[in-house]
Amino acid sequence: MSTNQQNKKGLQLVFAAVPLLLSFIISLIAFFAAVFINGAILHADLPAEKAAGDGLVYLITYSLQIIIFGFWYVMILQERAPLSTRSSEAGTSDRKKAADSRKNPEKKQDVRWNPVTYWATRLPILLIIGYGLQLAVSAVIAILSTAFPSLFSSYKELISSLAGTGVDTMTFIAVSFLAPIGEELLFRGVVFSYARGALKKKWAILFQAVLFGIYHLNLVQFVYALVIGYILGVLADRAGSIVPGIVLHVIINLSAYLVPAFFIDNIPKAGLSFALATAIVIPCLMVMFRKKKKKH
């Protein structure tokens, strides 16, 4: 590999890490914006120690992520395949098909693989995987928190503020719907795109998954976010789009509100829940990631 190629790959890795740093800056901006809005506009007293977990902070954070990283990702896609080139090729292809149709009216049209249809038909599998992953994670945490209560105390407080019974509407909307869109644009969109330019595919998927784990800023979430981030990375690569990943991410986050405490309120139940969830999720993942041959 030449020096120029090495420098280019190194630069790609730097660009892959920049979005993570930018996401922390966005969170800081959202924090101060929420404090200002509550104080100057809504005339509500919001102490700084409570502002970090305020629903408005999450709403602003993920809205900014969607705007900034959405624009960034669109620019990356346009750089890969300029719109003018796509339009020109599409127009040429359509004209050629029309000419062939006039010459051979009885000739059958080519049957092409439609990724939108393909992944839409897998929505039931995505539902099973999403809920199964959430149940498996909840079960493991229930088991480990019994053995290491001090390690999981701060984590339980965080999850209670995000998915507990008293969660406000803004937090619910931000965590369930805006966060999956913003985070998929950030990690499976921008970060993964740059990582693919510097690393082999499997290492690029792992790279974005590690950054996704670091993004959550605590050890417990790092571990399971690493696994889920890797699955979402494989899904984005196989689908050729971040849309299926957004759908799966929404299902996972929504499932945090739908795991009954009855399933995990003691170790035997949690162990059984984990075993059942794993037994269901693994075959579904195998079906989901089975390569689809394109028909031409």
Q: Could you read off the pLDDT of 133-160 as tens digits, one per residue?
A: 999 999 999 999 888 888 788 888 888 8
Question: What pLDDT sits at residue 111?
Answer: 46
Structure-block tokens of residue 243: 């849309």
Closest CA to 237 of 266, 195, 278: 195
Question: What pLDDT sits at residue 115?
Answer: 62
CA distance 281 to 134: 10
Question: What pLDDT sits at residue 84?
Answer: 41
Question: What pLDDT sits at residue 34?
Answer: 86
Local confidence band at 72 (pLDDT 50, 70, 90 cut-offs): very high
Choose between 112 and 234: higher pLDDT: 234
Segment holding 249, helix H or strand E: helix 243-255
Position 173 pLDDT exceeds 90:
yes
User: Does the predicted model carry a pTM greater than 0.85?
Assistant: no
Position 42 pLDDT exceeds 70:
no
Closest CA to 54 of 72, 34, 70, 78: 34
Choose between 36 and 165: higher pLDDT: 36
Choose between 160 and 217: higher pLDDT: 217
Mean pLDDT for all residues in the chain: 82
CA distance 51 to 245: 30
62-89 average pLDDT score: 78
CA angle 241-244-249, nearest 5°?
Answer: 125
CA distances to 53, 142, 193, 244, 246 from 241, in Å: 32, 34, 11, 7, 10
State CA 83 to chain mean position distance. Answer: 26
Choose between 196 and 44: higher pLDDT: 196
Position 56 pLDDT exceeds 60:
yes
Close Cβ partners of 34 (under 8 Å, ≥ 6 residues apart): 46, 51, 54, 56, 57, 60
CA distance 212 to 205: 11
What sign results for the dihedral spanned by CA atoms 169, 228, 247, 196? positive
Structure-block tokens of residue 171: 């937090």
First to last CA, the chain: 36
- Percent of the chain surpassing pLDDT 90: 48
Choose between 48 and 241: higher pLDDT: 241
CA distances to 73, 85, 140 from 282, in Å: 31, 41, 16
CA distance 245 to 235: 6
Question: What pLDDT sits at residue 180?
Answer: 96
Structure-block tokens of residue 239: 């689908």
CA angle 222-223-229, nearest 5°?
Answer: 75
State CA 16 to chain mean position distance. Answer: 16
Local confidence band at 165 (pLDDT 50, 70, 90 cut-offs): confident
**Domain segments of the chain as ranges:** 3-80+113-288
